[in-house]
Each structure stands twice: as structure tokens, then as C-alpha cells.
Amino acid sequence: MKQIRAILKREFTSYFKSPIGWILVAIFFFVSSLFFSLNFISSYSDIASELTFVQSLFFVLIPIITMKSFAEERKSGTEVLLFTSPASTLEIVLGKYLGAFCLFLLMSSTILLHVIFTAAFGGVINAVTWGTYLAFILSGAAYIAIGIYISSLTENQIIAAIVSVLIFIGFTLLSSIASLIGSLVTNLLQYLDVLKLISSTADTAAGTAVTNAINWINPATRLSDFNKGIFGVTPIIFLLSYIVLFLFLTVQYHDKRRWAQR
Amino acid sequence: MTDDKANLIPDQADVMSKDSKDAAEQAEIQQDSADRNTKAQGEPVSQPQADAPKAKPPIGSKKAKPLSAKKAARNKKRASKALVDRRNRKMGRYSTLSILLIIAVLLAVNILLESVVGDAWSWDITSNKLMTLGDVSIQLLDGLDQDVSITYLGTEDTLASSSTYSFMPDFLKEYAEKSNGKVAVSYVDPVTQPSIYTDLDANDVYNLTSGEFVVKSSETGRIKVVTTSELVTQEMDSSTYSYQITGYSAESAISGAINYVTLSTVPKIYFTSGHSEATLSDSYQYFENLLQNNGFETADLDLITSDSVPEDASAVIMLAPKTDLTELEAGKLTDYVEQGGNFMFAAGDFSTTAFTNVNKVLEDFNLSVSNDRAIETDQSRIYAQNNTYIIATSPSSDITASTYADNSPILILDAYYIQKLQNPVDWITVTNLIETSDQGARQQGGDENSVSASGVQTLALMSENTGFENGTTVTTSSRAIALGSASLFSDQVISVVQNSWYNYQLTYNMINWLTNNDASGNDLLISDKDVASYYLTNATNTAPLQMIAFFCSVVIPLILIISAIVVYRRRQHL
């Protein structure tokens, strides 16, 4: 725990010892405030919509947060120092993850200022607002875990960022791809079923099942319920699973590198 | 990199001991690493070439090592490398296995949770419970005895990503989940599966198009098409000239469609034409939806060209006519009501037109549409400072008994005074339906200067005649309603009063009573769900709002950017 805290502190402060942390927070706050202000001056404020809008910045901001975490260490050669330290691989990964996550939390907390102003002027701050806020933070946490894993695979920060961006965009497109694959399955079944042994309803059901299965693994789809006003425990568990999985993959990858001989 | 490996040696040994490797193996690894370190410091690295022919030592060279020693060293290196490879492979296998294991565990946990708790651990947190079915719908689903399919002609993704209708997939899921398997929801994209049109509507009666919901009963084969425009109620915002959602009517539309397709017989209401009547789609869309959602079919009736009122008519409604019936038409209507038919006259805006022949039909019910305009003199009972815009009430009656809260307001505009004829007989029961306060009055003949004395004025009456005889036998009863103004359920009024006033509920009750639908058990009045308003209620002055907007979008980001520049410059001078 002590090691995690030390690494977390080092990671978090490193963002603000360079301009990157300040700029990230500035961009985030500027974009969210722009959305907020344009409505606010018309006596209107919907924080849930604002959060949904700002979530589109994840594609750019989260890769920038995570790209340096392992890639930079590897490039500068400080990775060896880190892995020969008394900290275990898990502690190192957790420390770095939490460092990035704390920066994200700091960014997200700036929206609380909008919440306060909205409440002060009699705007609606209800369960949907807080549900969307939770979904926003959880999805950020999951995306950071993915970004950290990608960063550990390469020593080039730019490549890490680009791959992360592509993956995050992939999540967005996955639901469309899922529909396409589902339709392909339906059409394929209908094409192969020359003797008409299967009803068209069953063909459609099979296609729908494939679509649902692909959508099921897509964090972007799973979170949409929160934005609509449905608070579910299963999407939260699902996102936590994503975080666990990608942190585990990162630990495994570094363990393998740490102990492997050539 | 060589140094790295040297650094790793103690850890490797540690791991080896953990893995219960013997000391000899550890020594070999250390020796191997040491050998490689030595090579890295100057000795050329050469790979052992097992297949190369053995070369003889050159003449004059120093005495070569004995062949067996070289071979032994090579074998030792090979063994060491093989050991390392084995360890790497083993670690790789362990890593892959553990990754697969954690994926399996996480998948199992998630699938288990989804299947065991599913939606039980999810809650509709919207303020208007947008995705939750109300009691009326649940009661309808509980009573379903046939399979119903709801097919959206499009992809679920399209619907879910729509800004207005994104709630629909979850909402439809509620129907599937709460119907004990009777309702099946599916999404079929006609682009990829064009056969869906003929699958659902073989004769192309409904002219189905993409983006519609098709509700179909397997037993009756009846179809009801619900368009997306029926899922919400919208109004034009006069300031922006854009449509704004004023309510969500998805539940009444879908439940109404289920109710309609599962009905054994569908009541049909005929609307008279030929007297400049208002049309439902013109300014009575709320009323039209109310009828549709409650399983009524509607049709036009031209009494001049028709020999008589069709037998399948549950009721005939004359909606806001501008002219009177002809005698011939009145005769046909009288024949109809005397054989058990039901009739409603809903007057339009007040005019001086006399409805003499309409009154001949209503005479059988002791009702009469007067030539007087009703007004209200109690200033607290008028709307928009207009004494013809009356905030009326409904006295207790069969219609209002269970649903009317005392003094629930009813807004009615520019209404005729409806008169009860003084012909008291046992078989005609007339009941006041809508009335003014005791400070109501009548403008006689519509003349503002000729106002009657104050008193309760009736704006709508309902009547039941149980005395129609066929020869000598009383055959059946007939019902009639005379409504002083159809504004009771006009779009103009309903859009203002919404569900909070009694207009909508009263209209629903009136229609059910008129068509004897109250006995069928198909009570299905589902109010629209309100739209959450995100407007600031305490913002009386825009100046502080503008200051806050400036502070948030300019001042704070600027401070952060200046901080970034300061940090950057400091780093440059390090």
C-alpha cells in the first residue's frame, strides 16, 4: 500500500510538473463550461446532457493521460529502476493506474462547479444527474485501464495514444458493426437454409442474438442505460470487470517482461 | 540490456527456488548469465553450429582444447538455453492460462449476475418514470391470454441512439418482461430483411414503412401500427419555431395498441360529415389518440348518402358542426337511437346557428341545444380574463363517480347552454355532466346585452333512455350526450390543461359510457408522462448567469493555461 501511494503520488504530481496536466484540465473545463454556459445564459442547465457531451472528449483526453505511464518509462530506461524497486508489479501498475485516475477525477470534479451553480439557481439536480456522473467516472476508469495496458505494450507514446484512440473509437462503432454482423448471420442462415427448415423468425432471432452478444461486451453500449436514467448494478460490475481485466493484463505483461530471459 | 539481465539474476534465483528448482539448475542459470556477461564485455558471440563440419586446428597454432571439453561446454550452453526457453515457455503458458482464467471468471460473474438478478438490480431513476409501466398497463398485460408481437421496423441501435426515442428499447423490454412471455419484442431492419413487410402484412393493407412499430396479435391477426410521432406529444415553440416535446405518450400508444389487437370485437364510432364538422386529425388529435389507444375504430358517416346508420356503429358523434342536420338525416339518426344506438352532439364554437333537427334527435333523451351562450361571472372561475372561457366543474354522476376529485377544474370555451327538457318520464334519466358555478349566466341568443339571471348553467348533459319499444316490448336502452362545446377535448384546450385538469379523464369516461364500453373491462386511460424541465427557476436576472458563464468558460481555463505556461518556462530554465 505504501508503495502504491508513493507511485500514485509520483505519477499524479508528474502531470503537474509538466504543462500537460494543466492543459488537460484546462481543455476539459473549457469544453464542458462552453456547453454549460451556452445553456446557462438561457436559464437552462442539464448536467446529465453535459456529461454525455463531455464523454466524447474521452477519445482524446484519456489516451493523452495514459500514453506516458509505461511507454515513457520504457523509452527513458527508468522502467528497470521501477521494476527493481521493492514494489511488486501489481503495486506498480495500481500506482500508475490510480495516478492517471486521480487526474481524471480532478478533471471530472470541475463539473461539480456547474452542479453547484445549477442548484443555486433552482435547476434540476436529480438522480439522473448523479447516475450519469457515476457512469461518466466509471467509464473513464475503464478507459484508463485500457489506455494503461496499451501504454505498457510500446515505448512510443504516440503509438500508445493512437492505438488507444482507435480502440475507443472502435467501441463506439462496435454497436453498428454488431448490427451488421447480426444481419449477416440472419442473411447467411436464410441463404443456407435452402429447404426452409428454419423459420425466418428463428433466423432473425439468431442474428439478434449475435448482435446482442457483441453489444454485451461493449462498454460504450452498456453505459448508455445510465444516460437514459436507468441505474443498474450489472453495468457497474461489468465496468469493474473491464478495469480488473486490463490491469491484470498489464501486470501479466510486465511480469513476463520482468522475469523473461533472452 | 546486458546489465539489466545481470541485475535480474538474484530475482531469477529467487523465483527458481520458489518454483522448487534444484540448486544445480540455479547454478547453471547463473553460470549462463555470467558467460553472457563476459561475452558482452568483449568476447565475440558465436552461436553453436551443431551441423557445421568439424574443422581441424590449424598447423602451428597453440594446442587446441580437447574436443570433448569444447563439446561439453557447448552442451552445457545448449542445456542452459533449453532450460531458459523451457522456463520462458512455462511462464508464457502460466501467463496465458491465468489470463484465460481471469477472463472466464469475470465472464462467469457477469453472466451469472445478468441471468440471476438481471433487471431486478436496475432502477428507473427518471423523475417521470419514463421507462416504467404504470398500473393500467401491467393490469392489461396480466390479463393477456394471447401472444402479441411488437416489431420495430429498424435496428435497436437506431432507436437507442435517437435523441427523442432512446428510451424505447428499455421501455419495450418492460412489456416483454412483465407479460409472462405473452409479448415478444423484436427489431427487424427492412433494409437487410425486406421480407418483413410481407411477413407482417401480407396484403399490404397498412403500407408499412421503416421506423414504425407493428403490434400484432397471433390469435386475432389484427395489426396496429404505431408511428414514432405517437410516442411523444409535441408543440411548436413560437419563439424558436421548433417543435418541443411536451409529454411522453408511448405507454398509452403501445398499451392501447396491445389492447386493440387483442380485443375480440372492436367498437366502432362513426363521425357525421357534411355539416362542416371538425375532423379529428385537424384539431382533435388528442381525442383521436384517446379513441385509438382505447381500441375504438373510427369512420366517417355521410347520412345523406347512407340509407341508415351502419349496424356496427357503437356510437355516432357529431363533432363541432357549423350547420344543422337535414330532416332526412335527423330521421335516420332517430331511427338509429330508437333501435339502441348511442349519439353524442358536441357543439363547436358558439354561433347563432339553430340546431333544430339535432334537437329532434335529442328530444328522445330530454335534451336540447339552446341558442344561448353560457358565461361565468365569478372572476375566479374564468380563464384568461374571458367570461366565456369557463372553469367548470362536474357534479357527481355514474361517469365521474370513481375518478373525479372534488372541484377538479374543467376548462371549456365558448359553450352553448344545454337545456334539460321538462318532460319527466321514468325511462329517461338525465344527469348534469358539466356546469358553471352558481354565478353562471346565459347570453340569450348570444347577445352580450341580454344576460339571464345568475345561476348554475349546464354545459353538458348525459341521458339514458331505457324505454324504446319494439312494438310492445322494451328492446334496449340508448344513451346520448349533449356537449355545449367540443373544446372540452380539443387540442387547443388539452395542450394547455394537459392531464392535471379533468378534461381528458372526463372525455375518456364519457366515451366509455356512451359506447357501453364501461362494462367491457377495457379501461385504459394512460396519461402522458411529463417532460422534466431543466429550466432554472431562480434565474430572474440574466446578469449573474452571464457572469458565471464568463467565469467558467473564460477565467478558469485562462488561469489554468497561464499555470501551464509558467510550469513550461520553469522547466526550460532548469
Tell me: pLDDT of B144 over 80.
yes
Residue with cell 358517416: B301
* Interface subset of A 185-244, CB within 8 angstroms of B: 186-187, 200-201, 204-205, 208, 211, 224-225, 228-234, 237-238, 241, 244
* ipTM of the modeled complex: 0.87
- Confidence band, pLDDT 50/70/90 cuts, at residue A179: confident
Greatest extent of chain B over all pairs of C-alpha atoms, in Å: 148
> A128: distance to nearest CA of chain B, Å?
6
pLDDT at B404: 60
Tell me: pLDDT of A75 over 50.
yes
Minimum CA–CA partner of B5 in chain A: A261
pLDDT at B231: 86
Task: For residue range A124-158, list pLDDT tens digits in order.
Answer: 888 888 888 998 999 999 999 999 999 999 889 99
Spatial CA neighbour of A211 closest among A186, A241, A238, A242: A186
What 3-state DSSP class applies to A53?
Answer: helix
Which chain A residues contact residue B572 at CB under 8 A?
Answer: none
pLDDT at B403: 59
Most confident of B71-85, B455-469, B509-523: B455-469
Minimum CA–CA partner of A116 in chain B: B548
Amino acid code (one letter) for B109: V
- Is the Cβ pair A128, B126 closer than 8 Å? yes
**What's the mean per-residue pLDDT of chain A?**
88
> A5: distance to nearest CA of chain B, Å?
24
Q: In terms of pLDDT, which residue wins out, B534 or B97?
A: B97
**What's the mean per-residue pLDDT of chain B?**
80
- Is the Cβ pair B533, A124 closer than 8 Å? yes
What 3-state DSSP class applies to A216?
Answer: helix
Minimum CA–CA partner of B97 in chain A: A252
pLDDT at B51: 44
Domain boundaries, chain B: 127-264, 267-519
Minimum CA–CA partner of A202 in chain B: B186
Does B552 lie at the interface with A, CB-CB under 8 angstroms? yes
- Confidence band, pLDDT 50/70/90 cuts, at residue B531: low
CA distances from B164 to A215, A228, B60 (A): 21, 11, 95
The pTM is what? 0.62
Q: In terms of pLDDT, which residue wins out, B237 or B451?
A: B451
Residue B214 burial by CB count (10 A; 0-12/13-18/19+): exposed, middle or buried? buried
Q: Which of A16, A17, A22, A243 to probe by mutation at the B interface, max B CB count within 10 Å?
A: A22
* Mean pLDDT, residues B231-253: 74
- Confidence band, pLDDT 50/70/90 cuts, at residue B402: low
DSSP, res B154:
S
Task: For residue range B156-165, list pLDDT tens digits in order.
Answer: 878 887 878 8
- Is the Cβ pair A41, B155 closer than 8 Å? no
For A68-77, B96-105, B319-328, B473-482, which range has the lowest pLDDT when averaged over its residues? B473-482
pLDDT at B33: 45
Look at the alpha carbons of B525, B284, B164, A206 in this order and tell me if their dihedral is positive or negative: positive
Tell me yes or no: is domain B127-264 CATH 2.30.30.140.
Answer: no
CB contact at 8 A, A138 and A239: yes
> A192: distance to nearest CA of chain B, Å?
15
What fold is seen in the domain B267-519?
Answer: Rossmann fold (3.40.50)
Task: Report the distance separating Cα B56 and Cα A124, nearest Å.
Answer: 93
The residues, any chain, with a CB within 8 Å of residue B233's CB and separated by 6 or more, are: B245, B246, B247, B248, B249, B286, B495, B528
- Is the Cβ pair B564, A23 closer than 8 Å? yes
Spatial CA neighbour of B376 closest among B287, B451, B476: B451
User: Which of B113, B161, B556 faces A237 most closely, judged by CB atoms?
Assistant: B113
pLDDT at B540: 79
Does B540 lie at the interface with A, CB-CB under 8 angstroms? no
Q: In terms of pLDDT, which residue wins out, B81 or A247?
A: A247
- Confidence band, pLDDT 50/70/90 cuts, at residue A33: very high
**Length in residues, chain A:** 262
* Mean pLDDT, residues B194-209: 84
User: Which of B87, B167, B564 faces A228 most closely, judged by CB atoms?
Assistant: B167
What 3-state DSSP class applies to A121?
Answer: coil
What ranges make up the beta strands (E) of B239-312?
242-248, 268-272, 297-301
Q: In terms of pLDDT, which residue wins out, B417 or B12?
A: B417
Q: In terms of pLDDT, which residue wins out, B2 or A38?
A: A38
